[in-house]
Structure 1
């Protein structure tokens, strides 16, 4: 199994910089052990003008069988032999993808301390895979790679036997990609699309594969025209996982689209501007109101659900009374930004132990969210389709059941006070709805009744006597059991039916 990566260079930017980016020295041939064989990295050529790195993977068919691939397959006479005699040692597949994560781990992340500017910039690349299974043929290869910025996508069918052309073509192609891309982007594309084209994986697809797909697909998969096919095949057609990934990618796509415009009309004031005349941004007022409510509730272990880029998590971390802080978001891109904002890698051991960022969707129940004192959904519900609110409701109030839940959302009545907002428009392009005070209070009261909570409301921002505040806040507190007034007493929901989406997790 073979993969080559080539680039060209100049005296100022020699092609041998490829060795720095791959973290593999051109003057050495290196060997790495993998779970199913041995990977070799070598350089057939390494000059300032042109450099080629080759990844050669020797697969051990016996190790592959011993680890469970192909066992127990239906009794065909050649089934036992097929476990040992197959294309796995020769044709690019998920085995090569896994080897890439072992050998090129830092390069996949785009990390290069020696040449950070080279790692961050596109470079001329030529990638060749001599034998690639293509379930869907050359046409599908073009559909998968052409939208990703490659100037040349060549998928040349491999004949079954060149001596007998009448036998026709095999299901394999020789793949050549040429173009200017970041090396990390090219490697992540290959990591996902090699097993997609093979339409098979050598290992069981567990739920954590969704996270792997979202990480590797960051920056390109959310907008790919063949997103559904890629997601389905990568997750081995496990429909529950595929649906989860598709919903996550849709939210990522919307989040990335939002980056080209003002985040939200009520967040449009630059919080870093240092002038006495500048009013306190509504986003800052909202965080202050949430922090005050959490302190009054005596919460120590707090969930920030839909944490975005980590602004609230950052404020929580400053107050030592919050002993455990978990930020959850569906967007890996947002979580990466939050990690940089919090400087997680630089935090001392004690502070780092207090905070954690996780990827997840509120369309599903999640065991990780149980047994927390409080959960915050700040400007989250309005981004959810109304028909899916019941799933979010059950995931938070029915399954996770924190003692306190704080929910903030825009007050649509206040929109007339925004001079720059056209009449009838919502504050943000991704808002699926914006509620009046009466609508929000009605929804919150029903949620509290169904799940055994009480609810109180508070304004955030200037409380206009005619149209109310720009943001409305609901503070849910778990009601004590009947006859139980002791601290920490809880009540179960009066009537709660889990939506299908919440149960699916």
Structure 2
């Protein structure tokens, strides 16, 4: 499989300094699935082209798959014996090429150049070509992914057989990108989007892939109109990791935010909704006077880090049904590096919110932030009994999406929910009805508040309820604020 990078920036041979590969030599590098070769088909002051050619060894690729299966990973799609050796992997650009690119052009991906540091930060005229790219979604998807990043895209579907045009195109495209970008940005676009277009990663996707995605997507992925599709495919359709990535992207400023010459940021990126939501929850907890707090359904620990920063909270417990989510939360909190006194303040427990757990009793407050919509409707009575009847904290702070606001998201198809794991999303009336019934059934008072932009027609993007068992007043959550990220 082949990828070429061409520049006409003069002297064009400075491309060799940025890639740390000399134009006069061919260099070869061992990679887990074969050998990567870098060479220059042309190298003059006016035009220089660097080529990355990956030779995949089917035997090594099969051996690597076997080793992964031995460690408990899932089988690859070519699970039949012959298919492990006879397939398109040696010829069509895919996630294999992205992995080789990351190893061979490591410094260039980071935007580092010892010999030409000023050039590494300069936008260069670039032409990138991938003559055979496996593309699930065809040429149209390639255009949707690369065009918002400043590329002029030429994506031509490769016919199944040119002798029989009525057979139509194959699943491969000939892709050419033209634009003026930093080389590091261009390579990071490829590193992320080649596996996305391939949509069949050749390696096991571990939790650290989330960090790799956010690193490579820094400055462009958060504002990309196809960020949901990119995140889901890059993380091999692992819902928990995709959800955590989107939550973290919601907190990341876009490139327009970081550029002082870009003018005022668009309203959609002034303040991410995830930030506003956590601020509203934190305000409600502080106003309640709580000291011992539960974060029920804590996920990867985004809220836990903010709770830990508040000295008011002397005991903080995060729970989740997913052991992997708790591992990510521990990593995010850096539990193993916290001082002993801080470690004593925070605990992580595995627990399901539809089964009674005596450990959850006796706390001052509990948070259910974007959790209830992941519960099957038939299990909501058990959920309410566990939280409000059995655990019975003094204060419960609950947030959930307002489905009426979904029409304000241009990239969300009509009738779909904000996350594939959502079992439902409530209207404002449905939210008011459920919270009122739960409060009456379990002896709580409830106040409801908007979070995010308050639209006159469809209300806020997020709904927040504060349940109080002892009648102590709490301050209002954010009534109006900016931010429309889901």
TM range (shorter): 0.5 to 0.7
**Counterpart position of 2:33:** 36
SS in 2 for 1:16: helix
In structure 2, C-alpha distance between the alignment counterparts of 1:111 and 1:309, rounded to whole Å: 29
Cα displacement string for residues 329-373 of structure 1 (whole angstroms, at most 9, x for unaligned residues): xxxxxxxxxxxxx9x99x986499869xxxxxxxx989xxx9887
Q: Which residue, out of 415, 436, 444, partners 1:442? A: 436
Deviation at 1:393, TM superposition (A): 9.7
How many equivalent pairs are there?
A: 384
Residues 308 and 242 of structure 1: is their aligned pair in 2 closer, same or farther, counting only changes over 3 Å?
closer
**Counterpart position of 1:290:** 285
**Counterpart position of 2:308:** 316
In structure 2, C-alpha distance between the alignment counterparts of 1:397 and 1:188, rounded to whole Å: 48
In structure 2, C-alpha distance between the alignment counterparts of 1:295 and 1:151, rounded to whole Å: 55
Q: Is the 8 A contact 1:313 1:325 kept in 2?
A: no
Residues 375 and 234 of structure 1: is their aligned pair in 2 closer, same or farther, counting only changes over 3 Å?
farther
The root-mean-square deviation of aligned C-alpha atoms, in Å, is 6.3
Q: Which residue, out of 397, 405, 410, partners 1:407? A: 397
In structure 2, C-alpha distance between the alignment counterparts of 1:46 and 1:393, rounded to whole Å: 70
In structure 1, C-alpha distance between the alignment counterparts of 2:92 and 2:235, rounded to whole Å: 20
Q: Is the 8 A contact 2:148 2:224 kept in 1?
A: no
Q: Is the 8 A contact 2:9 2:46 kept in 1?
A: yes
Cα displacement string for residues 177-202 of structure 1 (whole angstroms, at most 9, x for unaligned residues): 11134545533443344345445443
Gaps of 5+ in 1: 74-78, 268-281, 329-341, 356-363, 411-424, 461-470, 478-505
**Counterpart position of 2:467:** 474
Deviation at 1:43, TM superposition (A): 5.3
In structure 2, C-alpha distance between the alignment counterparts of 1:476 and 1:205, rounded to whole Å: 44
Q: Is the 8 A contact 1:5 1:128 kept in 2?
A: yes
Cα displacement string for residues 100-140 of structure 1 (whole angstroms, at most 9, x for unaligned residues): 343445655x5549788876775432111132234565455
State whether structure 2 residue 59 is matched by structure 1 residue 62.
Answer: yes
SS in 1 for 2:4: strand
Gaps of 5+ in 2: 67-75, 255-265, 321-331, 345-351, 410-424, 450-463, 471-486
SS in 2 for 1:56: strand
**Counterpart position of 1:100:** 101
Cα displacement string for residues 460-493 of structure 1 (whole angstroms, at most 9, x for unaligned residues): 9xxxxxxxxxx9733589xxxxxxxxxxxxxxxx
**Counterpart position of 1:88:** 89
Q: Calculate the TM-score normalised by the size of structure 1.
A: 0.51
Deviation at 1:158, TM superposition (A): 7.4
**Counterpart position of 1:16:** 14
Deviation at 1:151, TM superposition (A): 1.8
Q: Is the 8 A contact 2:2 2:93 kept in 1?
A: yes
Cα displacement string for residues 421-456 of structure 1 (whole angstroms, at most 9, x for unaligned residues): xxxx99xx899766899868625527x85xxxx757
In structure 2, C-alpha distance between the alignment counterparts of 1:140 and 1:131, rounded to whole Å: 15
State whether structure 2 residue 176 is matched by structure 1 residue 176.
Answer: yes
Deviation at 1:155, TM superposition (A): 2.9
Residues 45 and 353 of structure 1: is their aligned pair in 2 closer, same or farther, counting only changes over 3 Å?
farther
Residues 307 and 72 of structure 1: is their aligned pair in 2 closer, same or farther, counting only changes over 3 Å?
closer
In structure 2, C-alpha distance between the alignment counterparts of 1:215 and 1:397, rounded to whole Å: 42
In structure 1, C-alpha distance between the alignment counterparts of 2:270 and 2:381, rounded to whole Å: 30
- Kindly name which structure, 1 or 2, has the bigger radius of gyration based on alpha carbons: 1
Q: Calculate the TM-score normalised by the size of structure 2.
A: 0.53
Q: After alignment, is 113-122 or 129-138 more displaced? A: 113-122
Deviation at 1:142, TM superposition (A): 3.9
